[in-house]
Structure 1
């Protein structure tokens, strides 16, 4: 076992100041990942919400779905409060979450925000996953099913670094990413 992981990371990056990133290539078997991608695409209640960004209303440039444990604080970003679904509503999501827990037993999470990018025109602008309901020392797990890779951002990475999913004209296929998070029960 590698520092709390049953699967050693393909690459590790020490970003300084308590920020780190672990990259796992081929986290799932390709056939398994393809099946999960299809199931999530077809079974989840995807929505493309209207956001409020710098006082302007705009449609989010990707579809989303939010699943969390019961009793957590309200999750809200850019003026949008997603519907909270239960893990039990989506058996395939529970299977994926269990696989992540098995491979990364030290990681704790109680929610997942899924984003569906239907083609290269869908995107996520530069941002940090630093909402106030998240634990400060957050471990954030991103499972990217189209490429079958997993990235773990730990410690202060969420506070100090931003990320994006840019538009890509040459990307024609479906992409779904799952951001597993640990949300505290107290608001800050």
Structure 2
């Protein structure tokens, strides 16, 4: 099955129902993607992520960072983060993502996966701080990784390969009906940086 058979692949919905996910493919030239990857690795204030699971504080190998137009607080996994101001490169990438998707964003959650051993379990980005049914623009830099979706009721799964310098957008009722994850893999030994541009509501 060819998911990308039309002239504009970003118009194709990867999900069969109950949400909209558009994959734009690579939106940066390799030189541009390489530039942003290095800037993100060296200028972002990375921290090991924390979560409270079954009452215990868990610290992950994966690192995260939280940036926004205002010092928004964002709570997930029972941990609250306060946003740092956008860096020059993050502001540039936000504008590019907004122009490509036709959406607006005011914040960005970044994840750094050092290699394929690090991933993300099934979850939805449906925290109360986020705009309900709002768009999430996801940029990927670095290692190519598989990204998967699973319907909460039917358990149907859909996956896509996210390339260096690529853009994926999740919107409408996707977070209500679908889980997503980044499965670990033993075939990747280089880092990946993922930026998810979001809209925080007061």
What TM-score, normalized by structure 2, do the two folds share? 0.80
**C-alpha deviation, 1:71, in angstroms:** 5.6
1:132-162 deviation digits (Å, cap 9, x = unpaired)? 1111121111111122221111100012111
1:67 aligns with 2:63: no
User: Structure 2 unaligned runs (5+)?
Assistant: 1-7, 143-163
Distance 1:14 1:167, change over 3 A: closer
Q: Deviations over 1:111-146 (max 9, x none)?
A: 100000011121111110010111112111111112
More strand by share: 2
Alpha-carbon RMSD: 1.7
Q: 5+ residue gaps in structure 1?
A: 1-6
95, 98, 104: which one aligns with 1:98 = 95
Instruction: Encode CA deviations 1:10-35: one digit per residue, 9 max, x unaligned.
Output: 74334323x11100111111110111
- Whole-Å separation in 2 of the counterparts to 1:166 and 1:139: 22
Structure 2 counterpart of 1:166: 183
- From 134, 137, 140, the equivalent of 1:138 is 134
The residue that corresponds to 1:46 in the other structure is 46
SS at match of 1:28: coil
Distance in 1 (alpha carbons) for counterparts of 2:62 and 2:34: 20
In the other structure, the counterpart of 1:122 is: 118
> C-alpha displacement at 1:54, in angstroms?
2.5
Asked whether the 8 Å contact 1:15–1:21 carries over to 2, the reply is: no
- Distance (whole Å) between structure 2 residues aligned to residue 165 and residue 29 of structure 1: 24
- Alpha carbons of 1:26 and 1:38: their partners in 2 closer, same or farther (altered >3 Å)? same
Query: What secondary structure sits across from 1:169 in the alignment?
Result: coil
Q: Is the 8 A contact 1:144 1:175 kept in 2?
A: yes
Name the CA distance, whole Å, in 2 between partners of 1:10 and 1:137. Answer: 18
